Structures are given as structure tokens and as C-alpha cells.
């Protein structure tokens, strides 16, 4: 990267952090002036609470539990949504049978199902997994179908001329051609499932970041609430950044940067 490119990147970084820094300054001034009735913590209080949670390893434990849950649920959702999406796009009659029901379910927010899942599955891990799977399933499904239906018909003709088997067609044609849409669906599915998991942990859990926030609310510990909220946002940003890096690596052939 040349000097001009580095300068532009640094300027973009400064613009990106300007608003958070302004919010932090306003927050500090507000607490200094007594805004919030003494309940709103100061930035120093939050930093102190953050150090305490790290020292007791309470924060790390909640993070690990939430990450383990999201990993399990997202993996299962991917394993369900991609095959079903391929079947729907490949067999129109199958799509006509299942799509109306799936479209109906897609309109219902995952949070609306939490009370039902609690009654049917209890307050254990099954409820959280069900919420994650439900939240991630539909973005992955829709983008899988979209990616397959947008494949140029000429590529299908080439696959038939070369007498590709179904496995070869999937490996050599479907996955590469549908990869941009599929990766977008996976990225959106993970984002949706992360938000849904936190909501589920607030209502039906005794561990995890969502539970940590609710427990802090019960004890009127706003400093710990702020920490939980900030950690959720940071982890969400890291997830999204990871998908961008993966997308750039897997789809490097689009801009011919694979060998650079």
C-alpha cells in the first residue's frame, strides 16, 4: 500500500472513532454533572468493574458459554438450511410444497418463539439452540436459493455436456457460482443468531452474556450492564470482520487478487 493509501486509511479510522469518542466525552461530562440520579456509572466505574470481572474470570466464563452456544446452533442451522435451499432450487415441486410454510415462519421473529420453546423444551440448552437455529436458518436458506437460481443456464448446459455427476456438479458449479450469495447468507445468519441468543439468555438462562446483563439489572449494577452490552457489540463486530476477511479470501477470484 502506498503512502496515499495509508493516509486515507488512517483518516478513515479517525472519522470512524470520532463519534464514539464524542459519546464517551459526553458520558463523562453527564456523570460529572450528576445526570442520571447517581445511578449512571462513570467511565472510570465501568473500567474498574471490567477489571474486577476479568480478575474473577466471571466475564470470560459468560463469553465462553455464549460463544459455545452460538457455535453449536449456527453449525446446525447451516447444516439444515444449505441442503434444503439446494433441494428447493433444484426441484420446483419440492419448493412449491415447502416454501409457503417456510415463508410464513420466516415472518415470525425468533424472540416470539422463546416462550413456546421454554414450555416445550424447558429452560435448558435446547431452548437456546432452538432460538439460534431458527434465527440463522432463514437468511442462509434464502441466500442459498438466491445463489442457485441466479446461476447462468449456460453453466448448467456445460455441466451436462461434461457429464458431471451430482457431486461434481455441486463441487464444480453450484458452490463456486453460489458462493457470494451463500457467504452473505451465512454472515447475516450469524448476525441474526447472535442477537437472538442474547435475547434468549435474558429470558431463559443462568449463564451467558444476556444473563449477565439481566443479573446486573437485578442488582442495579449499571457498570456491569454496560460492560455486557459493550462486549456483545465488540464480539458482533469481530464476527462481521471475520466474515469480511473470509469472503475476501474465498472470493478473491472475483477481483483476481488470489495470487497477490
Backbone angles phi, psi at 250, to 5 degrees: -75, -30
pLDDT at 5: 64
Higher pLDDT residue, 182 or 3?
182
**Residue 6 counted as domain residue:** no
**Residue 91 counted as domain residue:** yes
Q: Considering only 44-58, 94-108, 124-138, 160-174, which range has the smallest mean pLDDT?
A: 160-174
CATH number for the domain harbouring residue 221? 1.10.3720.10
Judged against a pLDDT cut of 90, whether residue 43 lies above it is answered with no
- For the record, the C-alpha cell of 73 comes out as 446452533
pLDDT at 3: 64
- For the record, the C-alpha cell of 127 comes out as 431452548
At residue 128, the 3 state secondary structure works out as helix
Judged against a pLDDT cut of 60, whether residue 259 lies above it is answered with no
Judged against a pLDDT cut of 80, whether residue 22 lies above it is answered with yes
Judged against a pLDDT cut of 80, whether residue 145 lies above it is answered with yes
pLDDT at 13: 74
**Residue 27 counted as domain residue:** no
**Angstrom distance (rounded) from CA 238 to CA 29:** 30
Instruction: Tell me the average pLDDT across 242-253.
Output: 78
Judged against a pLDDT cut of 90, whether residue 102 lies above it is answered with yes
**Residue 16 counted as domain residue:** no
Residues in Cβ contact with 63 at an 8 Å cutoff, skipping those fewer than 6 apart = 209, 231, 235
Instruction: Please give the share of the chain, as a percent, with pLDDT higher than 90.
Output: 48
Structure confidence at residue 42 as a pLDDT band (50, 70, 90) = confident
Residues in Cβ contact with 180 at an 8 Å cutoff, skipping those fewer than 6 apart = 147, 247, 251, 254
**Residue 93 counted as domain residue:** yes
Structure confidence at residue 254 as a pLDDT band (50, 70, 90) = low
Q: Considering only 26-30, 80-84, 170-174, 228-232, which range has the smallest mean pLDDT?
A: 170-174
How many CA atoms lie less than 13 Å away from 144 in the CB half-sphere?
Answer: 25
Q: Considering only 118-122, 195-199, 203-207, 220-224, which range has the smallest mean pLDDT?
A: 203-207
Higher pLDDT residue, 6 or 117?
117
Domain that holds residue 188: 43-254
At residue 147, the 3 state secondary structure works out as helix
Angle of CA points 204, 187, 86, to nearest 5°: 100
Q: Considering only 85-89, 166-170, 227-231, which range has the smallest mean pLDDT?
A: 166-170
**Residue 58 counted as domain residue:** yes
Number of H helices, E strands in the chain: 11, 0
At residue 207, the 3 state secondary structure works out as coil
**Residue 4 counted as domain residue:** no
**Residue 99 counted as domain residue:** yes
pLDDT at 164: 76
Q: Considering only 11-20, 34-43, 229-238, which range has the smallest mean pLDDT?
A: 34-43
Instruction: Please give the share of the chain, as a percent, with pLDDT higher than 70.
Output: 93
pLDDT at 249: 78
Judged against a pLDDT cut of 80, whether residue 88 lies above it is answered with yes
* The model's pTM: 0.84
Q: Count how many domains the chain has.
A: 1
Judged against a pLDDT cut of 60, whether residue 257 lies above it is answered with no
Instruction: Tell me the average pLDDT across 236-244.
Output: 90
Amino acid at each position: 500500500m502506498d503512502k496515499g493509501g495509508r493516509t486515507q486509511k488512517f483518516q478513515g479510522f479517525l472519522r470512524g472513532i470520532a463519534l464514539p469518542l464524542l459519546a464517551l466525552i459526553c458520558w463523562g461530562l453527564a456523570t460529572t454533572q450528576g445526570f442520571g440520579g447517581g445511578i449512571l456509572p462513570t467511565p472510570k466505574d465501568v473500567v474498574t468493574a471490567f477489571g474486577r470481572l476479568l480478575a474473577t474470570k466471571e466475564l470470560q466464563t459468560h463469553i465462553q458459554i455464549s460463544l459455545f452456544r452460538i457455535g453449536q446452533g449456527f453449525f446446525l442451522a447451516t447444516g439444515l438450511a444449505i441442503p434444503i435451499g439446494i433441494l428447493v432450487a433444484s426441484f420446483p415441486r419440492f419448493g412449491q410444497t415447502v416454501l409457503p410454510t417456510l415463508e410464513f415462519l420466516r415472518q415470525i421473529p425468533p424472540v416470539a418463539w422463546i416462550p413456546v420453546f421454554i414450555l416445550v423444551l424447558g429452560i435448558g440448552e435446547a431452548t437456546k439452540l432452538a432460538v439460534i437455529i431458527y434465527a440463522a436458518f432463514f437468511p442462509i436458506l434464502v441466500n442459498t436459493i438466491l445463489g442457485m437460481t441466479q446461476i447462468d443456464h449456460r453453466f448448467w448446459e456445460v455441466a451436462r455436456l461434461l457429464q458431471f455427476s451430482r457431486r461434481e456438479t455441486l463441487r464444480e458449479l453450484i458452490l463456486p457460482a453460489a458462493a457470494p450469495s451463500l457467504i452473505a447468507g451465512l454472515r447475516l445468519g450469524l448476525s441474526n443468531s447472535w442477537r437472538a441468543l442474547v435475547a434468549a439468555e435474558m429470558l431463559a438462562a443462568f449463564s451467558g452474556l444476556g444473563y449477565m446483563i439481566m443479573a446486573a439489572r437485578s442488582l442495579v449494577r449499571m457498570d456491569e450492564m454496560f460492560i455486557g452490552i459493550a462486549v456483545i457489540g465488540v464480539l458482533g463486530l469481530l464476527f462481521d470482520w471475520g466474515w469480511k476477511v473470509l469472503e475476501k479470501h474465498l472470493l478473491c477470484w472475483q477481483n483476481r487478487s488470489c495470487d497477490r
